[in-house]
Chains A and B, each alone.
Chain A
């Protein structure tokens, strides 16, 4: 029977797959066969819904019932109750944290309410391995419109007018980039389009989710870019650590070829386009555009000086457009709905939406897409559902290792490219890490610098040596060996690196340090001058002490201490030998009388 009365969507994103969603799909089919309703229910394995923490996630339509943490042992009951008897299975329906609210439909969840999904429109909605699903959701109508009714310049004009800016970090106007590449002269006529799906920012998984959830939208958008600039060959550079994304993209490419949507003379026009995947080894610097092109060409993934810019001399020395996955993710919607529609979303100079991977100290970790101009407060408290355990918000880091932090006083800043730069951070590719009172900002800065220092390709000395010096200073501050003037030394080094590093990695590496010094200078000072870590994170600055008045002398702590640092006589107050103590915290947890404290 053709008619499907109900659909059961099972998340096949990386998060849910790792918590066992593929087993669920099998189990569901088995149960449907048992009840003889396989032909009236459609089982769809989708990409990420965005709430990976709650995985495996299952949604049943037409009700839109949102089930979380579904295990294969639940499937028998779920199918019988919901799909045979029509009674949603309350036990597994997701309840939002905090408010005791019991939403029945996915659209009622606070997590989705404030979102606006343009790039993620199909993620968690269609089966990414079935081209017909994408086509059914108006897929490949944008390239049809472009090829049959628009000139390349008209396409570029629409993208320009939309105000779309690059989502890979820099925020460069996409239409302008296409124009430059369109105008660039290639002696043999060869030009390339490329997609940056390297996504090296720790904690980010926006691009992966788009590739996993809606790979055809990337193919279609790159075809449109190719038509606009006069190219017939594209490359997608994906990191090899994304096996599901790579597999789905390859399936999508194969299907598109089979349908004639990639290949020669698409829709019987003069336009031909072919797309190839190139795997990256996962070095952060390979996300930098010139390093990425070197890598695609089979050379070492090292940045090369700009100019020449890729628009003039890119891949294999030919004019090349390179855009981020999410940037491409907006293209079909702009073509179909018009530049004006897109420009109506967002702020004056940042149009459209931004996808963020929300993580850290937040209730709803996951993937979300918000209109530009949404405030951090809305993201943290409404979409993110607040901070766990009633802790206080301290700061959020955007832009990953190239960005900076946004303190509590800036919670109401509308998030867009320019505002983030003005407050010392940057949009970056979309990692958004929330920190609470238990995070030490010096330690956060050390973490990011450790990352960039490690990822520095070493080609230029300011970055190679400068970041190492900075890291050494940060480490000694955290170890309680900071000296007067360290803050200024960090600032001087930072300015030097920013001014002279060859590529963006080095130029932006000092940002997390500068921004934490700017907003949390008192924490640096506490570490350096008072040898204290106010958040209680930096181990070397912590002292464990036993309160003589309340210690009952039971000796439990001494038994738990792995360093044999605690001693004493039974029934008399015990003491900690700070020289032996390794600050593991085991004694605090062990003491039944709360007599041990850390400061």
Chain B
């Protein structure tokens, strides 16, 4: 079937995420700790949810990646969000439910969800944004 210009454009739009992945995206980079401890702690469902939400919200500039052990197994599942400048926010004890809120607030409108970050768990109030 011959494709109209609009149909070609639709193919382009659909592909944009995969293409950005290969060219390097400029937006947030979300990293899920996925080593043995993370997987045991339930990192898989967190990552799957994350991918679903990112796709559902059309966040084509966001990269979802995984990494090995982040180093604090008792805080797993851990999700780290890096912005374009390399600033990092670390979310701990993540669940699929919490992911929805992080995507809605942080990834969509840049508002860090303070209550899920490292600061609360450690019992101290430090800035949730730590320079990577």
Query: CB within 8 Å of B: which residues of A?
Result: 1-7, 9, 40, 42, 61-64, 84-87, 107, 125, 132-133, 135-138, 140, 144, 258-261, 263, 267
Closest to A257 in B: B2
Whether A86 touches B51, Cβ cut-off 8 Å, given contacts A5-B65, A63-B65, A136-B12, is no
B121 at the interface (CB under 8 A from A): no
* Across-interface contacts of A9 in B (CB, < 8 A): 22
Q: Of B11, B18, B48, which is within 8 A of A7 by CB?
A: B18
Q: Encode contact with A along B31-70: 1 for CB under 8 Å, 0 otherwise.
A: 1111110010000000110011011000000011111100
B106 at the interface (CB under 8 A from A): no
* Across-interface contacts of A125 in B (CB, < 8 A): 22
9 residue pairs A–B, Cβ–Cβ below 8 Å = A1-B51, A3-B55, A6-B65, A86-B66, A132-B11, A135-B11, A136-B15, A144-B5, A258-B1
* Across-interface contacts of B63 in A (CB, < 8 A): 5, 62
* Seed contacts A1-B55, A62-B24, A64-B24; 12 additional CB < 8 Å A-B pairs: A1-B51, A2-B14, A2-B55, A7-B22, A40-B48, A61-B21, A136-B11, A136-B15, A137-B19, A144-B5, A259-B2, A263-B2
A1:B19 contact, CB within 8 angstroms: no
Whether A133 touches B5, Cβ cut-off 8 Å, given contacts A87-B35, A87-B67, is no
Nearest Cβ in chain B — how far from A140, in angstroms? 6
B16 at the interface (CB under 8 A from A): yes
B68:A5 contact, CB within 8 angstroms: no
* Across-interface contacts of A4 in B (CB, < 8 A): 17-18, 21
- Docked Cα-Cα span, A5 to B63, in Å, equals 7
A3:B12 contact, CB within 8 angstroms: no
Q: Of A3, A85, A132, A136, which is within 8 A of B68 by CB?
A: A85
Closest to B63 in A: A62
Q: Of A61, A85, A135, A260, which is within 8 A of B15 by CB?
A: A135
- Docked Cα-Cα span, A427 to B31, in Å, equals 47
Whether A85 touches B66, Cβ cut-off 8 Å, given contacts A125-B22, A135-B12, A137-B19, is yes
B124 at the interface (CB under 8 A from A): no
A140:B8 contact, CB within 8 angstroms: yes
B98 at the interface (CB under 8 A from A): no
- Docked Cα-Cα span, A62 to B29, in Å, equals 10
B21:A62 contact, CB within 8 angstroms: yes
- Docked Cα-Cα span, A561 to B122, in Å, equals 78
B52:A85 contact, CB within 8 angstroms: no
* Across-interface contacts of B24 in A (CB, < 8 A): 62, 64, 107
Q: Of A3, A133, A261, which is within 8 A of B54 by CB?
A: A3
By Cβ-Cβ distance, the 4 closest A-B pairs, closest first, are: A260-B2, A136-B15, A86-B66, A3-B55
Whether A267 touches B5, Cβ cut-off 8 Å, given contacts A1-B52, A2-B55, is yes
B32:A86 contact, CB within 8 angstroms: yes
B131 at the interface (CB under 8 A from A): no
Q: Is the interface of A mostly helix, strand, loop or mixed?
A: loop
B65:A260 contact, CB within 8 angstroms: no
* Across-interface contacts of B88 in A (CB, < 8 A): none
B101 at the interface (CB under 8 A from A): no
* Across-interface contacts of B25 in A (CB, < 8 A): 62
* Across-interface contacts of B65 in A (CB, < 8 A): 5-6, 62-63, 86
- Docked Cα-Cα span, A157 to B126, in Å, equals 62
* Across-interface contacts of A136 in B (CB, < 8 A): 11-12, 14-16, 18-19
* Across-interface contacts of A6 in B (CB, < 8 A): 21, 65-66
- Docked Cα-Cα span, A386 to B36, in Å, equals 42
Whether A260 touches B3, Cβ cut-off 8 Å, given contacts A5-B65, A62-B65, A87-B67, is yes
* Across-interface contacts of A5 in B (CB, < 8 A): 47, 51, 63-66
Whether A135 touches B8, Cβ cut-off 8 Å, given contacts A3-B51, A3-B54, A260-B2, is yes
* Across-interface contacts of A138 in B (CB, < 8 A): 12
Closest to B68 in A: A87
* Across-interface contacts of B2 in A (CB, < 8 A): 258-260, 263
Nearest Cβ in chain A — how far from B35, in angstroms? 5
* Across-interface contacts of B48 in A (CB, < 8 A): 1, 40
Closest to B54 in A: A3
B67:A86 contact, CB within 8 angstroms: yes
A86:B35 contact, CB within 8 angstroms: yes
- Docked Cα-Cα span, A137 to B21, in Å, equals 12
* Across-interface contacts of B47 in A (CB, < 8 A): 5
From A1, A2, A86, residue with most partner B Cβ within 10 Å: A86
* Across-interface contacts of B18 in A (CB, < 8 A): 4, 7, 42, 136
Q: Encode contact with A along B54-98: 1 for CB under 8 Å, 0 otherwise.
A: 110000000111111000000000000000000000000000000
B21:A86 contact, CB within 8 angstroms: no
A7:B21 contact, CB within 8 angstroms: yes
- Docked Cα-Cα span, A3 to B17, in Å, equals 8
* Across-interface contacts of B17 in A (CB, < 8 A): 3-4
* Across-interface contacts of B32 in A (CB, < 8 A): 86
Closest to B56 in A: A3
From A3, A140, A260, A267, residue with most partner B Cβ within 10 Å: A3
Closest to A266 in B: B2
Nearest Cβ in chain B — how far from A64, in angstroms? 8
Nearest Cβ in chain B — how far from A451, in angstroms? 39
From A9, A84, A136, A263, residue with most partner B Cβ within 10 Å: A136
A85:B36 contact, CB within 8 angstroms: yes
* Across-interface contacts of B39 in A (CB, < 8 A): 84-85
Nearest Cβ in chain A — how far from B37, in angstroms? 10
Closest to B7 in A: A259
* Across-interface contacts of B68 in A (CB, < 8 A): 85-87
Interface hits, B101-131 → A, CB 8 Å:
none
- Docked Cα-Cα span, A67 to B2, in Å, equals 39
